[in-house]
Amino acid sequence: MSKRIYIIAGEASGDLHGGNLVRELRAAASATGHSPLLIRAWGGDRMAAAGAEVVKHYRDLAFMGFTQVIMNLRTILRNIDACKRDIEVFKPDAIILIDYPGFNLRIAEWAHAKGIPVHYYISPQVWAWKKGRVHTIKRVVDRLYCILPFESDWYARYGMPVDFVGHPLLDAIEQEGKSEMLPLPDADGRPIVALLPGSRKQEIARMLPLMVQVALRFPEHRFVLAAAPSVPDELYAPHLAGAPISMVKGRTYDVLRQARAALVASGTATLETALFGVPEVVCYSGGALNVWIAKRLVDIKYISLVNLIMDREVVRELIQSELTVETMSAELGKLIADGPDRTRMIADFDALRTKLGGPGASAKVASAVWKSLHAAD
């Protein structure tokens, strides 16, 4: 009889890692010669391309910030109910949840009550805020796979064993390194500065106009916007009209492989940029209410994954009032030039890779899930 797995990823990064996981799950099934593996998912194009039947796209799920979540709460609750119904119809042998805790922990509680094994890949960042969620995770998650080196010790303090599998971005970037590096359009010989303003409407509206103004101050460099494939062109277009900026869609890694420096919105992209060895300035601008709430709830020293993992300031974080054209330009200028700031950051990125361990996260998770499915066979 076929084994059935249901996977839920609610964001672009989850789709990336989910795609690699689906491939490894299929490889594990093929290698053991077992009956076919059926994978149904909420995710995106990468998971679909890897062989999952994607029934809900993450672009319909992503809401940024506290106020956006509150404004769209009815939609979110409807999505949760729809997901539960679909799982009941599919009757999976196991569920794999990828990050996206506000949604996925609700599914985990429900699935646990139904007796469905729950695997959680990419631990929710409960060490940053909502620490009380650790008790829910310990109660309803059968196996937790962590991707940050300090998370194992953190969970151990609560008596919860976890699997540290390394960061899945190392898998994605290793895979990218095997592909041919294609030239970017409009190449003219100038060094490239990558612009990654995020994948949500609010991020783009707040940060891209500032990035455009910075680009005007560096005419000797070519600025390339790495546009997210899930974002409609019309969200970028008003900010780029007449600007000396090229837009490349769905080729973020191609852009980073060829960039000398980058301006990056806070999020997973900060770590991706670092793992490509590209010196970067981290940018964050949120709604006043969101920031006010976050300051009272979030218990972390840094907002970028690079600094959190290294537990010190490796990359400069420009947050709210610090995020101006002047400060962005000053910090970018230091990283473009051959000098101590650029040299130090590149060396720190080498140390970061070592700290994260080698590639293989997706294969480790796939192997663990596959063995658990056949433990009773």
Q: For the chain, what is the domain count?
A: 2
> What is the span of the domain harbouring residue 231?
192-356
Nearest to 22 by CA among 6, 11, 10: 6
**pLDDT at residue 292, rounded to an integer:** 42
The answer to whether 318 and 282 are in contact (CB under 8 A) is: yes
d(CA 213, CA 325): 7
Whether residue 104 is found in the same domain as residue 161: yes
Same-domain pairing of 253 and 218: yes
Question: Please, what are the averages of pLDDT over each run of 10 residues along the chain (377 residues)?
Answer: 91 89 92 81 95 90 52 74 96 96 93 97 81 91 94 92 92 79 85 93 90 97 91 91 91 94 93 96 73 48 88 94 95 97 98 90 95 78
- Asked if 111 and 254 sit in the same domain, the reply is no
The CATH number assigned to the domain holding 291 equals 3.40.50.2000
> What is the C-alpha to C-alpha distance for residues 100 and 290, in angstroms, rounded to an integer?
18
Integer-rounded Cα Rg, in Å, for the chain is: 21
Give the global pTM.
0.78
Quote the distance between the C-alpha of residue 332 and its chain's center.
24
Q: How far apart are CA 340 and CA 347, in angstroms?
A: 10
Burial class (CB in 10 A: 0-12, 13-18, 19+), 72: middle
Which tokens hold the place of 273? Answer: 């940029």
Query: Residue 338 and residue 327: Cα distance in Å, rounded?
Result: 19
pLDDT the model gives residue 62 = 56
pLDDT of residue 291: 47
Closest to 61 (Cα-Cα) out of 127, 14, 108: 14
Answer yes or no: is 184 within a domain.
no
SS3 41: strand
Same domain, 140 and 252: no
Structure tokens at 252: 């973020």
How far CA 148 is from CA of 60, 306, 308, in Å, comes to 28, 11, 9
Domain assignment present for residue 316? The answer is yes
Domain-located, residue 175: no
How many whole angstroms separate alpha carbon 347 and alpha carbon 171? 21
Same domain, 7 and 89: yes
